Amino acid sequence: KLVYVLNGPNLNRLGKREPAIYGSQTLEDIRAMLVERGEALGCTIEMRQSNHEGFLVDWLHEAEDEGAHAVLINPGAYTHTSVALHDAIRSIKVPVVEVHLSNPHAREDFRHTSWVGMAAKATVAGFGAGSYLLALEGAAAL
């Protein structure tokens, strides 16, 4: 089972970026955790990160074209702004799981709307790096 894990803007700075909110693990640490858990679940992890919205749109389409089993996406701040990501998720059949390290609903008002969550199959938020592992387990079982 091929699982794409897409990460949006500023997540390349994980580990250094507001560690009180996002934790001290880097995106590479998270990738290694997902690969290990993926092996146990029979999932191959294709992990990507971009600060550019259009790349995330292209990779959602690619996941569908490559026959992925599921996509996990942490869209970063594009969560709260991107109609393009909303439409891209709706344009593919592969199930998409929205992932957040923090719980956006417990934070500033501008984080309370998720265009991605409105189109996604499911959302996992608030467990730090554990959100990715929980999302992978859920996605593997779909």
User: So which residues are the catalytic ones?
Assistant: 22, 100
- How far is residue 137's CA from residue 54's CA, in Å, rounded to a whole number? 28
Q: Does 82 bind ligand DQA (CB under 6 A)?
A: no
Q: Which of 1, 37, 111, 121 binds ligand DQA (CB under 6 A)?
A: 111
Per-residue DSSP letter, 22: H
Identify which range of 40-48, 62-70, 85-93, 101-109 contacts ligand DQA by CB under 6 A.
101-109
User: Which CB, 1 or 134, lies closer to ligand DQA?
Assistant: 134
Q: Does 100 bind ligand DQA (CB under 6 A)?
A: yes
- How far is residue 86's CA from residue 116's CA, in Å, rounded to a whole number? 5
35 burial level (CB within 10 Å; 0-12, 13-18, 19+): middle
How many C-alpha atoms does 111 have within 13 Å on its Cβ side?
A: 13
Give the footprint of ligand DQA on this chain (CB under 6 A): 10, 74, 76-77, 79, 100-102, 104, 111
Q: Binding site membership for substrate: which residues?
A: 74, 80, 87, 101-102, 111
